[in-house]
Amino acid sequence: MNEWLPLGLFLFTLFFLLLGFPVAFTLGGASLLFAGIGFLLDAFDPAFLEALPVRLYGMMNNETLIAIPLFIFMGITLEKSEISKSLLETMAEGFGPIRGGLGVSVFIVGALLAASTGIVGATVVTMGLISLPAMLSQKYSPKLASGIICASGTLGQIIPPSIVLIILGDVMSSAYQQSQLEQGIFSPETVSVADLFVGAILPGFLLVFLYISWVFLISWLKPDIAPSLPLSQRKPNYSKRVIQVLLPPLILITGVLGSILMGITTPTEAASVGCIGALLLAGFKQKLTFKKLKQVFMATTEVTSMVFTILIGASLFSLVFRGFSGDEWIRTLVGSFEGSPNLIFFLIMTVIFILGFFLDFFEIVFVVVPVVGPLLLNLGMDPTWLGVMIALNLQTSFLTPPFGFSLFYLRGVAPAEIKTTDIYAGVIPFIGIQILVLLILWKFPELATFLPNQVF
């Protein structure tokens, strides 16, 4: 019976997560409950729990994790300063006269916001409030408009600086070191958040390119679902306004990502630069009042507290799971599949994809990746490539009905005339594009490894 305790812990935790219980307390509570059961059955050594204070202290001293509240602060500051509204209005004027141009402008602004904020919910809500009424008023198909907004919002998952990549980078670093130690390598190499940031750039831009290409294609095949805007709607002095609106965010993005790419700063140091830049940009636009600044600090504190509380619960879960030899159990289970490493990889990626129907990325990263990461890395897979693949897979989970969080965000701000079925149907082509990019990246791993090898 004892060998089923790790599976019981995993399924018990998954069950209560699906019921909607708070992630952090579910992870911690389930772990303590099963630790107690294991102790009574003489199947768990309580010495594993003694390692928790050491892990928490390690979290407090982890400079990489400091980037999380900094990037959250930067993103929320830019959101409150209404920069996204100015960007979207200006891009819509430029691309509007082209068939499908309004949808293309949403993707361009979505990519810029992703590279500025890295927060999915904020981007989807902002785009839903600003661009959805504009597209509907121009007779865009409700399905296409909904799909464009949901897909553009998820770009914050894969385009750096992404909160997902920061958390995933820290988890993958631990998994990579554990994998090397299991192979008898006692001077392990590391994979950093900067590696994932740089590795995600080309796949991220490929995704944006394919999104835009799809909008152009479908609007060419079906002109009535994405009509063009009259050129007369463009206001005077457009070129000047483009420079005024686009230049400041581009300078901020270049300063943050460029400093990482050139090796001048770490992601944490770049995040602090981004915070200062966001404050200066918001102040320059005179859009950040004291009231809004207070809201920024409150929202940053709430999101950061949520992330780190989950991290504490995940650490406890990891200790108890390993105390039951759960990692050995997973290794034995996967080893029972007779096949190539690619078969094992596809099985695990499929599991992550299916879990994305029901769980958000925090739960998957903190619960699943620490378990399967070392196993996949032991098969000889590149850690940067694997991290980007998992990030893309998790991004797909934001779009997948019925529980994709991007769909929920849009449903919350969409007018009543937009049916939930319209939103679900609208994202299907973009889910297909994301799966296509996953397959391309699997076939050509250099898309994720070329830039990091050149830069670092």
- List the beta strands (DSSP E) in 296-449: none
Tally helices (H) and strands (E) across the chain. 22, 0
DSSP 345: H
Q: Are 170 and 62 in contact, with CB atoms under 8 Å apart?
A: yes
- Dihedral, 95, 101, 102, 104 alpha carbons, nearest 10: -100
Q: Are 91 and 218 in contact, with CB atoms under 8 Å apart?
A: no
The per-residue pLDDT for range 118-172, each reduced to its tens digit, is: 666 666 777 777 778 878 887 888 888 889 888 888 887 888 877 788 888 888 8
pLDDT along the chain (456 residues), means of 10: 74 76 80 86 82 79 78 78 74 77 84 70 71 81 88 83 81 80 71 84 92 91 81 70 79 80 78 84 74 85 80 80 73 64 83 73 76 80 89 82 72 78 88 92 91 80
The per-residue pLDDT for range 201-238, each reduced to its tens digit, is: 899 999 999 999 999 999 888 888 888 777 666 677 77
- Predicted TM-score of the model (pTM): 0.79
Q: Are 396 and 434 in contact, with CB atoms under 8 Å apart?
A: yes
| Residue in 133, 101, 104 with CA at minimum distance from that of residue 229 | 101
- Residue partners of 454: CB distance under 8 A and separation at least 6: none
